[in-house]
Chain A
Amino acid sequence: MEAELSYFLGIDYPTWWFLIVGGVFAGYAILDGFDLGAGSIHLFLKKEQSRRIALNAIGPVWDGNEVWLVIAGGALFAGFPVAYASLFSAFYIPFMLFLVLLIFRAIAIEFRSKEDMKWWRNFWDRAYFVASNSLSLLLGVVVGNLMIGLPIDERGNLVGSWLQLLNPYALLMGFTILALFVMHGIIYLLLKTEGRLYAKLRILLNRAVILFIIAFTAASAYGLYAYPKLSDDLQNSLSFWILPSLGILSILSIPQWIKRRKFRIAFVSSALAIALMLGVLAFELYPVLLYSTIDPAYHIDIYSAASSQKSLGIMLLIAAIGTPLILGYTTFVFYTFRGKVRLDENSY
């Protein structure tokens, strides 16, 4: 079983693949994060025109953003099949709901504009709003459970009911991620809007920042209080202090950038904050992927969960060729649709 590890630049393949999977998830959170966040405030925009602008702000890019989730899922499956199988079967019901919500969000965006009737648009607006909020919340719940570990047995199977996944800490993390995405989404919309809608979004942004700080503080405080594992890690690792602190700093800087109309920097700040949050998760986990709350012997770490060195090597090559391509055309598409939203005959 224990084959020789292969190394690249002094780092072993499973660690590289851990970094790649983490990077793709961060990419997903940053990119689809603003789509989800924009959707989460959809119903707060009252005017039809505002809603259309908000939808068309993400229109040309949301599909490409969602691809990152597909790649992330594929990368986890390919690199760490054991962890993928355990995680996905453990979260059976939440993931099924997640899928249905993803479908509804996609369809709501696509179908809303296809008919003029008021009830039709109202229906899809609500579906879009509910799906966006619930998706962020569910993602946060998964993150929360990863932080504290799952009751998995020696075969990697979840023991007991999936309802225990809805514990207070995971729910608090759910709200934290939701608030983070909402903030991120509003900043993206600020980049794309002007006039009264812009003014309205600025008010919403301030509220979202406050909401995030409250949720984050509550989740951290409760986590440290209820889970000794988290506070142990905190005492052992300096990075645990640095990363979240940097994250909070970058978030606090956002209103300042917005005030000076430096939208891009503001957007980079919130993207950075998301990356830092996931960095905390990665630090907390590495080299374990799934903590077992039953017995440390049942932990699934990157070495026991990884594909063969050969397979990881092939995929590192695939990633090395593919990543510049993806970044290339993602940049091209974002560049083509840069600037404030203008509605035309092709718009949603």
Chain B
Amino acid sequence: MEVEILARLQFAFTVAFHYIYPPLSIGLGLLMVIFEALFLRTRNPQYEQLARFYTRIFGLTFGIGVATGIVMEFEFGTNWAVYSRYVGDVFGSALAAEGIFAFAMESGFLGLLLFGWNRVKPWVHFLATVMVLIGSMFSAVWIVVANSWQQTPAGFHVVGEGINARAEITDFWAMVFNPSSVDRLWHVWNGSFLAGAFLVLSISAFYLIKNKHVALSRKAFKIALVVATFFSLLQAFSGHSSANVVAEYQPAKLAALEGQYEDSDDAGIMILGWVDEEAQKTTGIEIPSLLHLMTNKEIGQDTIHGLNHFPADQRPERINAIFQFYHIMVGIGFSLIGLTLLALFFWWRGKLFEQKWLLRIFVFSVLLPQIANQFGWFSAEMGRQPWVVYGLLRTSNALSEAVTAEQVLFSIILFFVVYAFLFLLFLYLLNRKIQHGPDEAEKVEYSDAPKRTISGIIK
């Protein structure tokens, strides 16, 4: 038992920390592609400066993303040996595909992206940026596929009995396109684009308030605002269809997300609320009937099951936490829509950059997609409990048998110390890069032979 809690803690912690960075890399990747495309089209050097500046920040996020990503691949084997034996046949091919198709692509072209500015023609560099973006998006494809398979398993059969049971693949494409893959992937991509767009918005707004790099920042802000508006609207649709999949395939999770204990044939949705797990009651502001309407159920006819419908050992624990994580995510999603539409409105009135208060909000807005991404992930994973593979393998049975609590504790402490140190370094260096800012037009040199050696981009 103790090993289970520690191992879950360790995995949650290492995933959560890792999950700060890949979404940033995907989102920044998209903006870098846009900046470079605009540069190639207009030959306006400002776009190149933006691309170079954000590439430096990208380098920072990508580096930490890679370093912390390898950890999880190893953890499957170290901490979850039984799980690894059980799912290897299915899960492994997705993971292998990720490495071969996606990760090799992004990391291969990363060198060109970071160091190739003066080595290759602008269009080759642009191509490298596109490849890094596609690679990182493909990474998300395979990782989300692997995780979605755990949520809604498909395309396999179970061979063997008891401790020797394991899942074997029967249909590769049914595994890849399991019921939740597409919706969840779309959701993760949107969340990533939002994370990147809001980082650019935040940095640009910061410069505009400080009256620094004004021309560049206005351009960057507007581009990122368009991206952010588009994806925050899209995210509402994606969230809706993701929730429908949960309703269909993981009813116990749906009940946990909405804090519902009793069956209902006219279920509403809580805007705000609190789950009293002792009393099995959720109180808050509710919109009646909405859950039935959203999940295309007939009011008075169809039943949406509450938690009590499921045997005690088949429903998730910590309902209030799941409820809150989920509702904060949804709330942030709608705030982002409101925020971007408001900014668009001022842009339309031609007064966007006069609203200092709005810019101030945008400086801090960078945290919102990050929080939503994290909390969405928490509710998805906690909602799946007590299963590690939904309906098939319990988390408590998935542990390594040869590993002791002391070993896991040791590694938790180790990772905690290292990650805390890493995070402080990341913030420090990000801050330094923002303070340094993009190189302004007159300072950028366009000759083929670089003149500066030690100074320049890195400092």
Q: Which residues of A contact B (CB under 8 A)?
A: 1, 52, 56, 59-61, 63-64, 66-67, 69-71, 73-75, 77-82, 84-93, 95-96, 98-100, 102-104, 106-107, 110-111, 113-116, 155-158, 162, 307-308, 310-311, 314-315, 318-319, 322-323, 325-326, 329-330, 333, 336-337, 343-348
Contact = CB atoms under 8 A, between A and B. Distances in A.
Given A156-B85, A315-B93, 9 more contacts: A66-B107, A77-B96, A81-B92, A86-B81, A307-B169, A326-B100, A326-B108, A333-B108, A347-B458
Contacts of B43: none
B211 interface: no
B105 A325 contact: yes
Contacts of A337: 111, 115, 119
> For chain B, which range describes its interface: under 10, 10 to 19, 20 to 34, or 35 or more residues?
35 or more
A73 B78 CA distance: 12
A118 to B, nearest CB: 14
Given A100-B415, A346-B118, A71 B88 contact: no
Contact of A345 (B73, B425, B456): B456
B176 to A, nearest CB: 10
Contacts of A314: 93, 169, 172
Interface in B53-76: 59-60, 63-64, 66-71, 73-74, 76
Q: Is the interface of A mostly helix, strand, loop or mixed?
A: helix
Contact of A322 (B100, B118, B401, B418): B100
A63 B135 CA distance: 14
Given A66-B66, A71-B99, A59 B78 contact: no
A345 B455 contact: yes
Interface of B: 59-60, 63-64, 66-71, 73-74, 76-79, 81-82, 84-85, 87-93, 95-101, 103-105, 107-112, 114-120, 131, 159-160, 163, 166, 168-170, 172, 400-403, 407, 410-411, 414-415, 418, 422, 425, 429, 432, 450, 452-459
A315 B96 contact: yes
Contacts of A63: 63, 66, 107, 110-111
A107 B70 contact: no
A61 B111 contact: yes
A322 B111 contact: no
5 contacts: A67-B107, A98-B74, A158-B402, A311-B93, A318-B97
Contacts of A107: 63-64, 67, 422, 425
Q: Is the interface of B mostly helix, strand, loop or mixed?
A: helix
B154 to A, nearest CB: 15
Contacts of B429: 111, 114
Contacts of B69: 70
A78 B93 contact: yes
A85 B84 contact: yes
Contacts of A336: 112, 116, 119-120
A311 B90 CA distance: 7
A319 B99 CA distance: 10
A99 B455 CA distance: 32
Q: Count chain A CB atoms within 10 A of each CB in B87, B89, B410 and give the residue with the most.
A: B89
A318 B456 CA distance: 42
B118 A344 contact: yes
Given A70-B103, A78-B96, A92-B400, A99 B159 contact: no
Contacts of B64: 107
B377 to A, nearest CB: 21
A116 B71 CA distance: 30
Contacts of B111: 59-61, 63-64, 333, 337
Contacts of A348: 458
Contacts of B120: 336
B453 A77 contact: no
Given A64-B108, A92-B78, A337-B111, A74 B88 contact: no
Given A310-B169, A311-B93, A88 B453 contact: no
A70 B400 contact: no
Q: Count chain B CB atoms within 10 A of each CB in A52, A99, A155 and give the residue with the most.
A: A99
Contacts of A74: 73, 92, 95-96, 98-100
A157 B73 contact: no
